[in-house]
Amino acid sequence: MRLDDKVCIVTGGASGIGLEISKRYADAGAKLVIADINLDAATAAAADLGDDHMAVLMDVTDPDAVQAGVDAVIERYGRIDVLLSNAGVQIVHRVEDMTFDEWRKVMAIHLDGSFLVSKAVLPHMYERQSGAIIFMGSVHSKEASELKSPYVSAKHGLLGLARVIAKEGGRKGVRTNVICPGFVKTPLVEKQIPEQARDLGISEEEVVNDIMLGNTVDQQFTTVEDVAEVALFFAAFPTNALTGQSLVVSHGWFME
């Protein structure tokens, strides 16, 4: 599947899953916009992809910053074809130990951020009667785990937001879908291992083997490459036959 000359914004695109998706999109012919709160990293990532790509500073929780980033994309390219809303963070505590500020931070980045970037790009997609919006959900869009109350809540919320946009955007040529990865061994996940071991009173090895991989069919982490292939499929799919859907890529951690 190809994305020749499609303009694709990837939030949180300077590292981890977002960076791998950006590379896969570029390989498929897209013009990448690496949108990240770390402008230096985004600039370096865009430069590594080549001259047809750009970086924008974007705090997805700030409506003005989101709009400024989208305006910069329109000024350069005149269009937006794909939005991959990927920016994320994780904080793990039991509900009674989670501060309200921690709750709001996780919810704001994952759920508010996806709303804000969608709101900013939709008028441009509607004008062209074409576009794809992809949210980075999780197996936790489908299932709960201990210690992750705001993350699980936000990821569940993305399914609802995607379905609403699919309903509203379908007659205007815009489709919206959600990728639901299992545990991908990025720095975000690696940081959770000692935190969960401490809060659950188990070893780090037990966190990996029992919690993260225990429900998989092969005791394997999902890879960034796995997720990038699904992201390409959703971005390049040509019609509204595939909209309002979610696809779990988790080595069987969750099945439906």
So what's the pLDDT on residue 182? 95
pLDDT at 30 over 80: yes
pLDDT exceeds cutoff 90 at 133: yes
User: How do residues 198-210 score in pLDDT, each as one tens digit?
Assistant: 888 999 899 899 8
To the nearest whole number, what is the mean pLDDT of the chain?
96
99-108, 125-134, 183-192, 210-219, range with the lowest pLDDT: 183-192
Q: What is the mean pLDDT of residues 61-68?
A: 98
In the prediction, which pLDDT does 186 show? 83
pLDDT score at 173: 98
Catalytic residues: 151
In our burial notation (b when 16+ CB lie closer than 10 A, e otherwise), range 56-91 reads bbbbbbbeebbeebbebbeeebebbbbbbbbbbbbb
- Report the alpha-carbon distance of residue 151 to residue 109 in Å, rounded: 10
Q: Which range has the worst mean pLDDT, 46-50, 103-107, 204-208? A: 204-208
Q: Could you say which architecture CATH assigns to the domain 7-182+223-249?
A: 3-Layer(aba) Sandwich (3.40)
Q: pLDDT value at position 44?
A: 98
Share of the chain above pLDDT 70, in %: 100
Q: If you ran DSSP here, which 8-state letter would residue 11 be given? A: E
What is the distance, to the nearest Å, from the Cα of residue 98 to the centroid of all Cα atoms in its chain?
23
Taking the C-alpha atoms of residue 19 and residue 23, their distance in angstroms, rounded to an integer, is 6
Q: Are 155 and 137 in contact (CB under 8 A)?
A: yes
pLDDT of residue 240: 95
H helix intervals, 28-176? 39-49, 63-77, 100-107, 113-128, 149-169
What value does the mean pLDDT take over residues 42-56? 97
With a cut of 80, say whether residue 79 has pLDDT above it: yes
Question: How far are the Cα atoms of 69, 222, 246 from residue 250, in angstroms, in the given order?
Answer: 32, 6, 13
Q: Which residue has the higher pLDDT, 106 or 186?
A: 106
At residue 188, does pLDDT exceed 80? no
Mean pLDDT of 190-216: 89
Domain spans of the chain, in order of start: 7-182+223-249
User: What does the pLDDT read at residue 197?
Assistant: 85
pLDDT-based confidence at 152, cuts 50/70/90? very high
Average pLDDT over residues 96-111: 98
Is 66 in contact with 58 (CB distance < 8 Å)? Answer: yes
Give the span between the Cα atoms of 171 and 72, in whole angstroms.
27
Backbone angles phi, psi at 246, to 5 degrees: -135, 145
Reported residue count of the chain is 256
pLDDT for 185 = 84
- For range 236-256, the mean pLDDT: 96
d(CA 55, CA 27): 17
* Predicted confidence (pLDDT) per residue in 81-96, tens digit: 999 999 999 999 999 9
When pLDDT is cut at 50, 70 and 90, the band that residue 111 belongs to is very high
Task: Say if residues 183 and 140 touch (Cβ distance below 8 Å).
Answer: no
